[in-house]
Amino acid sequence: MRDAKSTSPWSVVSLLFTAFLSSAPASDQTPKRADHTDRTHDVVVYGGTSAGVVAAIQAARMKRSVVIVHPDKHIGGLTTGGLGWTDSGRKSAIGGLAREFYRKIKAHYDRDEAWIHERRETYRFYRPKDDAMWTFEPHVAERIMENWLKEYGVPVVRGARLDRAAGVVLDGHRIRSIRTLDGQTFRGRMFIDATYEGDLMAAAGVSYTVGRESNATYGETLNGVQKAQNTHNHRFIKPVDPYVRPGDPSSGVLPGINPGPPGEDGAGDHRVQAYCFRMCMTRVPENRVPFRKPTDYDERRYELLFRNFEAGDMRLPLKIDMMPNGKTDTNNNCAVSTDYIGMNYEYPEASYERREQIIAEHRSYQEGLMWTLANHPRVPERIRREVSQWGLAKDEFVDNGHWPHQIYVREARRMVSDYVMTEHDCRRHRVAPDSVGLGSYNMDSHNCQRYITPEGFVQNEGDVQVSPGGPYAISYRSIVPKRGEVENLLVPVCVSASHIAYGSIRMEPVFMILGQSAATAAVLALQDGCSVQDVPYSKLRERLLADGQVLDIAVAGPVAPSGLKPADFRGIVVDDDQAELTGTWTVSRSVGPFIGNGYRHDNNEGHGAKSARFVATLKPGEYAVELAFPPHHNRSSRTRVFVVHSGGTTALTLDQRKPLKNPKQPFQRLGVFRFDGKAEVRIENTGADGYVVIDAVRFLPSDRKR
């Protein structure tokens, strides 16, 4: 019933005047919101992440009305928020609109005017003959996405946060409309939740989980608490005291350390992997903004950092990957870095206000970290000198103090549907018959907690980096709710996956792939008048393939082979797990061929601080010395190798980028040398210009005529 006051003459005049104002052109200073109250869209996309942008474009290409309802200001999520180093695994697994986006990136950098602070010829990751480019500046990605949406006339309603308590109107198992906190209502026939948090999914009553499952839940090996996996690079490699007063447990623990037990290996818990911001830095003087000291700077936050340096860990705690124009995508690295470990557990289900506090705390910590690394006297002078060369890029994130507008939500809620992607899918022990895209990146979890070891030292826990060995299929059922739950909702970001499987799926190109597949399924469901659970897969597959999606493992290229057995080769083979290692080396199986269980690499860091000695005892005589490693374009082209033989030491420089002539023969000859008993091959990463890789050394008795 209408309120009686609304029929008064003054009310009528007021309504007419308001209607006149709403029909007038909006000024540049006060842009008018589009009125969606009286319109039902075919597809409503909640969340303007990269997945949301691509989903909206796909719906528009299929001639359907679509709107993006975005809780934030900037579109693109992490793709436009600093993550310019595209983590994707196998690039051949990326097709459809996702690849089209990266082709647009390449087209931008093909233009001479795109290169302002650097010459194109000097940028290592620009390859003229490639169809796409995988590294880029944040503002370039955002401009491309904004123009893409304008090209297809997709409206974006910004700053519109879902009323999570009462804003989802359901009619049986179908969403009829969503309402945002500012009072706007969006009616739709199909809905896509493209947020990193899964807010629409949760508010609609869809099943989900937060945290790590136990290994027993899905029969996995890499889920739950992972103390036994603690051989990665992102840990304490020196003993560091965790207590406020060193050696005194009664004084309490330093900030961020779990004072209780960490949990049994493989046990599930509530913890999620750590978040950070992917900073865009530069050392180009005219574009550099020095790191600022936050107003709430608290030196106690960095006591672990100081103690770790003082214990002798002199690694630079930053992963700095170069983007065009002298900029970076800067990520977490080593024991104490940009990840604010243990400070995000509330985030997935927190209120908007609490999330803002958590984001502000993360920003304050990370800004303080950078100022500390560049200025604090307890930081080694060599580290201060290196970090102080850098600053934030002046021409990025200009409306946010040059700080990324998007925090890296590595995981939040994850849907639980009729098909849960697990480690078994990533390893292809199980292959989904209803593929809507491929993943191929490492099963990658960042650390989830800091705890105190039985010996009384601090340690990080939760970092897992295990390659699936190649691409794998992502099930359509993992992006739609359970049968019997919501019938017109698709979820391409907070997909149905275990914690460790999500660690591989959670890559921006994969989110774009799944966004396109979700929108395609939504339109097909509209055409057939069916639920998303009943979309015929044969019809969906046909359309996805027609639109350039890559759905089949074989199309994306062969999977990495199983390790070749040392016994399959003549001579004496010393594998990398038998080598004497100095420094931290990361085990990988990403690229084949390799000997044994995998190979190791230096993570392209700590140059001059890492080496590997392969030692064998031989009968006196001449031997051909050969080195096995899987070549790749990101390897070092000047890897230092030393062969210690009876005549002395021979120093060699090896190009580890050069492809193998025969993949079935992974050993490359270093030369023929005489040994009188002990043989040694030493590999160092001094002066390397890429990843230094070690796999195996073979000593093959020589048949050379004398």
Give the global pTM: 0.81
pLDDT greater than 70 at residue 30: no
d(CA 241, CA 245): 9
Tell me what pLDDT residue 26 has: 34
Q: pLDDT tens-digit profile of 537-560?
A: 999 999 999 999 999 998 988 776
Q: Where in the chain is the domain with CATH 3.50.50.60?
A: 34-209+468-546
Between strands 248-253 and 243-245, the pairing is antiparallel
Tell me what pLDDT residue 281 has: 98
Give the model's confidence band at 29: pLDDT under 50 very low, under 70 low, under 90 confident, else very high. very low
Q: Where in the chain is the domain with CATH 2.60.120.260?
A: 566-701
**Residue that wins the pLDDT comparison between 489 and 596:** 489
Domain 566-701 in CATH 2.60.120.260:
yes
Give the model's confidence band at 562: pLDDT under 50 very low, under 70 low, under 90 confident, else very high. low
Q: Which amino acid is residue 186, in one-letter code?
A: F
Contact 109, 133 (CB under 8 A): yes
Environment class of 620 (CB within 10 Å of its CB; exposed 0-12, middle 13-18, buried 19+): exposed
Give the model's confidence band at 593: pLDDT under 50 very low, under 70 low, under 90 confident, else very high. confident
What's the whole-number mean pLDDT along residues 60-74?
A: 98
Q: pLDDT tens-digit profile of 607-652?
A: 889 999 999 999 999 999 999 998 888 899 999 999 999 999 999 9
Residue 558: strand, helix, or coil? coil
CA 49 from centre of chain: 14
CATH number of 34-209+468-546: 3.50.50.60
Q: pLDDT tens-digit profile of 106-130?
A: 999 999 999 999 999 999 999 999 9
294-326 burial string, b = 16+ CB within 10 Å, else e? beeeeeebbbbbbbbbebebebbbbbbebbbbb
Contact 344, 361 (CB under 8 A): no
Tell me what pLDDT residue 259 has: 96
Give the model's confidence band at 23: pLDDT under 50 very low, under 70 low, under 90 confident, else very high. very low
Give the model's confidence band at 330: pLDDT under 50 very low, under 70 low, under 90 confident, else very high. very high
Tell me what pLDDT residue 651 has: 96
Contact 419, 311 (CB under 8 A): no
Tell me what pLDDT residue 634 has: 84
Mean pLDDT over the full length of the chain: 92
Percent of the chain with pLDDT over 90: 83
Tell me what pLDDT residue 703 has: 67
Give the model's confidence band at 704: pLDDT under 50 very low, under 70 low, under 90 confident, else very high. low
Contact 264, 225 (CB under 8 A): yes
What's the whole-number mean pLDDT along residues 382-392?
A: 97
Contact 180, 36 (CB under 8 A): no
Q: Which tokens belong to 523?
A: 């339109």
